[in-house]
Chain A
Amino acid sequence: MIYPIDYRVIPVSELELNKNEVFARLQASRGADLSLDFECVKELEKNILCKYSAVRVPLKFEGVKGVNCGFGTVESENLRKNLSGCGEVFVFAVTLGVGVDRFLNKLSLTSPANHFIADAFASAYAESAADKAEEIMKGSLKCRPRFSPGYGDLALSCQKNVLELVNAQRLLGVSLNKSLLMTPTKTITAIVGIEND
């Protein structure tokens, strides 16, 4: 079996923002009377360099709680449940790139209002980037909802192995800090179960 690392750049024009997600992150109620036409968001979009890398690997259930998605065995009942009925998984990392962090950092020193707004949009963009990456990977395959390290009982400590599996440091420039948080900050890793035919 050949499992290529699928690595590609997603143009920002292909990312579709979920308006409800944006409203939630701006702490505004759904359908609030709030224009989303912010100058800083146009700047933010110029700083997005969205890339993802993914592998498709066989899935193994081990012991009572263990599950192996190609990056070693982890114990997680929630993940096992999410993946039951699957024989393979996609493991992927997607990032908006360090340019977004640089831009947000700049705003944190120059404009708290724009910082707050741009950060909210960037988080929403990261979600839509994960959606887009998933859509490209899945094609016509029937898949489970994505599951990320830190969800439920899946320990964040597996993040290091996930990033290594998809070669995220070299391909995407993603690294972990001491608290196991990823930098660039607008980065998502996840496992997507592929259902058996």
Chain B
Amino acid sequence: MTEITEIIKTERLYFDGGTGTVLQSMGLPAGTAPEIWNLTNPEKITALHRAYLDAGANIIKTNTFGVNCEKYENYEALISAALDCAESAVNGRENAFIAFDMGPTGRLLKPLGDLDFEEAVALFASNIKAMADRADLILIETMNDSLETKEAVLAAKENSNLPIFVTNVYDESGKLMTGASPEAMVAMLESLGVAALGMNCSLGPDKMLNLVPRFTENASVPIIVNPNAGLPVVIDGKTVFNTDGETFADYMAKMAEMGACILGGCCGTTPDYIAKTVAKTEKIPYSAPEYKNKTVVSSCTHAVEVGDSPVLIGERINPTGKPRFKEALRSGDMNYVVNEAVKQVEAGVHILDVNVGLPEIDEKIMMKNAVEAVQTVTDVPLQLDSNNPAVLENAMRIYNGKPLVNSVNGEAESMRRIFPLVKKYGGAVIALTMDNSGIPETAEKRVEIAEKIIGVAAEYGIGKKDIIVDPLALTVSSNQQNALVTLEAVRLLGEKGIKISLGVSNISFGLPKREIINSTFFANALERGLNCAIMNPFAQGMMDVYHSFKVLHGLDAACADYINYANSTAETVEKSAKNEEITLHKAVLKGMKESAVSAAKELLKGVEPLEVINSHIIPALNEIGGAFEAKKAFLPQLLMSAEAASGAFEEVKARMPKTDSEKGRGVVLATVKGDIHDIGKNIVKVMLESYGFTVYDLGRDVAPEAVLAAVENFNCKLVGLSALMTTTVPAMAETIKLLRENQPDVKIMVGGAVLNQEYSDMISADYYGVDAMASVRIAEDFYKN
């Protein structure tokens, strides 16, 4: 029999329709899971499959949607029985295929839910192993989370060689529940190597109609459409749907004309719906999907195309030459990293480079944490940047979307290590035009290396469109030919239809006023066809070039982006002039962070750092703290002031000699294991930071061992623990016990909604913090003694 992956390229196939509703009409009691019948009424499941095949379906879904090892101890028997039913139904039929069906786990992934990435992969993997390749394809369906979809695909790839089909659930806004657009899903899934993709379930065929073009315009693989029979209603305790078979089939015919390749149904559809769909579509000529030559990367929400309009890649998440960043990485301060991310996105970058390499830290863990944190706070795609393939693999695995990988080069070893990762996890990759002999001096030789890399990538099944070549900018301070060679390489690569990226600012290394050279070089490179620039979005000259280039090249309709940009730059100037009029004391008191930062900067020009703290920040904090304690100010005001003070503190710290720094006044903070409520902990953190304490924030759901490790690592003798649920107070007691056994001189403060002094005594904490100010008083008291 011809492989299904070949057949779908040349002819239209039909999926079956709904299972639950049809089984209910066959006597399945409401509330009973359909998969139970695989073992108790297998003949009915087989009959259902046969009814669909008789109606004209070619692909039947095994009755395994709701099965997994967490829900059923006998999942293997349920899966095996489902496959038996499917096999006996297709037996002896031509052009009939079995899709092994996998639905979502039914739990939400971290950080929003409590399901761990690898736990989810393992759940899917158990199903795939139990299926033992007894199907023609694996169908991953009804997924409303892009990351969970990726986990299922990875589990399938790691445990089977069967083709993978994926359908997701899009809501009225045309997005998955967790925010991904069709374009983002196409980018991620094609890059992961699925054979067909599309949508199912949702609200009915009418709603899906509008989304079809968004798939056909972007996907190179066949599109699947399996809608519901409209909206569900309950009749006599049974769920039925409000679109009849005739209307359903009319919509399906429209979608077939629009280029949908594989048609079927979901909830509420019956063999009759499929028969009508087949009848109305079999004469419509099949249009095979065309190959789309688009270079695309994606985030958990949207796709970014590397095409005509220049793409800006923010370079600031990189510790090179940034002492404060290095300090943040050493102390595991993810807030610093995420703030860099947010600021760059606000400044207008399309992609963020993430590099957290420091010799003294575990880069693998740090990179994973950084990627998770940055994906939590921003929705732009990431460029994963490390020279260690193991670090890249760790990040690529958990990345939500299709990443840009930085980088591979012309050395055989580099390609041998990087390309398999790109093939497995998906991604586009930056290719540096250098090899064992170094960086060639001529543009032609650099292009040769680029072509060699593209050739080797093809051997791994990675297309040219997913290789973005960086012909390397070298500083003109050492050789004035450098810029000309790079610019010529850009031109040559562009002529060959190869996508190009550059780390622009390298061009001026060693020169004064680098931004002048950088922005001029950037303009020149753009003129010659540069697609992506790794750059500093806070350098106004660079942003000026970007915005004016777009206007001058007809890439900015009605100059709208430019006008916005020009207005916002004017506003910034005005704002900073206003900020200067506000004193630091007032800014902290009123909780105005931006003003506090600029006032602190201004003050530091003439006042010693310690003086700024003691005479300006602390008195203002004490004033608002006092008002809070007297119930004249409230928590929101106190917190806004604390954040403003923290912003000012950052400025002071940067100018303080190391010996004067507040190092030594540290506090380890954690929300205990099992508890994901971290508002209280975060409040304490900002209060402590505003008073200049160094906070080692371990986050939420933290194991006792991790708290102990932090105490030992940072040699910090004050620990704050929070818990919000009564069920997690035992975890707090356990953490205290472990600390007492191993670090007897450590002092522990506890707080959280369910705690009181009595409870705190019972679990033998040293201090009970009744509110946010209390933690500051406790810490001050601790360090005074």
Contact = CB atoms under 8 A, between A and B. Distances in A.
Secondary structure class of chain A's binding surface, majority of residues: mixed
A157 interface: no
Nearest to B300: A102
Given A98-B178, A106-B376, A116-B683, A29 B338 contact: no
A38 B635 CA distance: 13
Given A102-B112, A106-B376, A109-B377, A115 B144 contact: no
Contact of A113 (B112, B142, B201, B591): B591
A179 B636 contact: no
Interface string A42-64: 00000001000001000000000
A196 interface: no
B108 A177 contact: yes
Contacts of A102: 112, 178-179, 376
A175 B234 contact: no
A2 B233 contact: yes
B573 interface: no
Contacts of B201: 170
Contact of A110 (B169, B237, B335, B637): B335
Contacts of B267: 170
A27 B638 CA distance: 12
A11 interface: no
Nearest to B343: A110
Interface in B648-676: 674
Given A3-B234, A72-B31, A112-B685, A175 B679 contact: no
Contacts of B235: 2-3
B634 A183 contact: no
Given A99-B179, A110-B342, A116-B679, A175 B635 contact: no
Contacts of A178: 107, 114
Interface string B134-173: 0000000010100000000000000000000000010111
B682 interface: yes
Contacts of B179: 98-99, 102
A23 to B, nearest CB: 9
Interface in B167-188: 169, 171-173, 177-179
Interface in A156-192: 164, 167, 169-171, 173, 175-179, 183-184
B204 to A, nearest CB: 12
B724 to A, nearest CB: 11
Given A102-B112, A105-B112, A110-B342, A5 B239 contact: yes
A5 B233 contact: yes
A20 interface: no
A28 interface: yes
A55 B686 contact: no
A167 B232 contact: yes
Given A106-B377, A177-B108, A113 B642 contact: yes
Given A110-B342, A113-B640, A26 B634 contact: yes
Contacts of A175: 106-108, 113
A55 to B, nearest CB: 6
B678 A184 contact: no
A115 B679 contact: yes
A115 B112 contact: no
B727 A28 contact: no
Interface residues of A, number: 47
A95 to B, nearest CB: 10
B236 interface: yes
A38 B114 contact: no
A101 interface: yes
Contacts of A170: 142, 169, 201, 267
A100 B467 CA distance: 36
B631 interface: yes
Contacts of A112: 639, 642-643, 679, 682-683, 685-686
Given A26-B636, A116-B636, A7 B231 contact: yes
Nearest to A174: B108
Nearest to B108: A183
Given A101-B112, A102-B179, A110-B342, A29 B631 contact: yes
A177 B679 CA distance: 19
A9 interface: yes
Contacts of A179: 114, 674, 725, 727
A117 B106 CA distance: 30
A170 B143 CA distance: 10
A110 B377 contact: yes
Nearest to B342: A110
Nearest to A106: B377
Interface string A115-128: 11101000000000
Contact of B373 (A101, A109, A169): A109
A116 to B, nearest CB: 6
A110 B643 CA distance: 10
B373 A32 contact: no
A18 interface: no
Nearest to A53: B232
B636 A113 contact: yes
B107 A167 contact: no
Contacts of A115: 679, 682
Nearest to B689: A112
B338, B342, B639 pick with most chain A CB within 10 angstroms: B639
Interface in B589-641: 591, 631, 634-637, 639-640
Contacts of A171: 232
Contacts of B171: 173
Contacts of A113: 591, 636, 639-640, 642-643, 686
Interface in A55-100: 55, 72, 97-99
A116 B114 contact: no
A20 B178 CA distance: 32
Contacts of B642: 112-113
Contact of A184 (B106, B112, B682): B112
Interface in A96-152: 97-99, 101-102, 105-106, 108-113, 115-117, 119
Contacts of A164: 31
B477 interface: no
Interface in A1-30: 1-5, 7, 9, 26-29
Contacts of A27: 634-635
B643 A2 contact: no
A125 to B, nearest CB: 16
Interface string B213-252: 0000000000000000001111111010000000000000
A176 B108 CA distance: 8
A34 B338 contact: no
Contacts of B239: 5, 167
B334 interface: yes
Interface in B228-282: 231-237, 239, 267
Interface string B90-118: 00000000000000001110011111000
Nearest to B682: A112
Contacts of B591: 113
Nearest to B335: A109
Contacts of A105: 111-112, 376
B743 interface: no
18 contacts: A3-B237, A5-B232, A5-B233, A5-B239, A26-B635, A29-B631, A29-B634, A97-B177, A98-B177, A102-B178, A111-B643, A113-B643, A115-B682, A116-B683, A167-B239, A169-B106, A178-B114, A183-B112
Interface of A: 1-5, 7, 9, 26-29, 32, 34, 38, 49, 55, 72, 97-99, 101-102, 105-106, 108-113, 115-117, 119, 164, 167, 169-171, 173, 175-179, 183-184
Which 3 A-B pairs have CB atoms at the shortest separation, nearest pair first?
A113-B639, A112-B682, A173-B177
Interface of B: 31, 106-108, 111-115, 142, 144, 169, 171-173, 177-179, 201, 231-237, 239, 267, 334-335, 338-339, 342, 373, 376-377, 591, 631, 634-637, 639-640, 642-643, 674, 678-679, 682-683, 685-686, 725, 727
Given A32-B634, A116-B683, 17 more contacts: A2-B234, A4-B233, A5-B233, A98-B108, A98-B177, A101-B112, A105-B376, A109-B334, A112-B686, A113-B591, A113-B636, A115-B682, A170-B169, A175-B108, A177-B108, A177-B113, A183-B113
